[in-house]
Amino acid sequence: MKQPRPRLIYVLPNLFTSASIFTGIISLTEASKGHFDMAAWLIFLSLIFDGLDGRIARLTHTCSRFGLELDSLADLVAFGVAPAMLLYFQFGKDYGRFGVLVSALFVIFGAIRLARFNVTDSCNDPRVFIGLPIPTAAIFVAGWSLLLEKHQLHSLGALLLFAALLVSLLMVSNIRYPSFKKIDLNRPLLLKTLVILTLTASLLYLFSNEGLALLITAYVLYGPLRTVRLFYLRSH
């Protein structure tokens, strides 16, 4: 006779989700104090917790509707509100209403992105995301925040605000991005993937901030560039 699963185990993935929320709130408070590097790294830490909760739920077979809803709320805090406030306190406050607007739209469009994902996930191809995922948008803001702070390029804050506005629009677009959830690594691809990952790790080791910003920007640009290319091929 199969033993019933201990009810306490259902709490485990939700603890990591709660940790993601908590880390996002700490990031927000650090940004309000002017500790922008710390706030940005805390967003990355939230990303780790966010990745762990789903994996643990699948490994322990404790996926639930409650967990999915809590995960979406956690994403809105950690990857919507936290990066938006980092963006505002670091650069947006110097640009008046425009800074407020960019931060607000980042959260609003992020919420729309999450809501659309929740209601259409089962209908979509698991190999792609429709619209830029909100964690990617958050990492884009955090990565460039670290880079500009490292080199004291505060004069480029306006460019980051415009970039964040474009990223917000990409979240609610129909542009497709690779999800990397289901990758068929046959033998020819395995070697290429190993080489690419090794080169990527080397880049991040040598130039952590610059490499991180470059990689996440390349992913963000991949969607629009792929769409333009497909449109060009279809029209010729």
Q: pLDDT for 64-114, tens place per residue?
A: 777 788 888 999 999 999 999 999 999 999 999 999 999 999 999 999 999
d(CA 97, CA 23): 28
Question: Is the pLDDT at 126 greater than 50, yes or no?
Answer: yes
Token output for 161:
């605000």
Alpha carbon distance 26, 29 (integer Å):
5
% of residues, the chain, pLDDT over 90: 56
Q: How confident is the model at residue 8 (pLDDT cuts 50, 70, 90)?
A: low
Residue 41 has pLDDT above 80, yes or no: yes
- The mean-pLDDT minimum among 29-38, 41-50, 164-173, 184-193 falls in 184-193
Q: What is the DSSP letter of 175?
A: -
pTM to 2 decimal places: 0.88
Identify the residue with better confidence: 199 or 136.
Answer: 136
Per-residue pLDDT for 42 more than 60? yes
Q: Are 137 and 110 in contact (CB under 8 A)?
A: yes
Q: What is the mean pLDDT of residues 148-158?
A: 92
Nearest to 78, CA basis, from 135, 155, 9:
135
**Cβ contacts of residue 81 below 8 Å, gap of 6+?**
24, 28, 107
Tokens of 114: 């999450």
Determine the pLDDT at residue 100: 97
- DSSP secondary structure, 7-34, as one string: GGGGHHHHHHHHHHHHHHHHHHHHHHTT
Beta-carbon-side half-sphere exposure of residue 205 (alpha carbons within 13 Å): 6
> What pLDDT, on the 0 to 100 scale, is given for residue 1?
45
Report the pLDDT value the prediction gives residue 69, as an integer from 0 to 100: 84
User: Is the model's pLDDT at 63 over the cut of 80?
Assistant: no
Specify the pLDDT at position 123.
Answer: 56
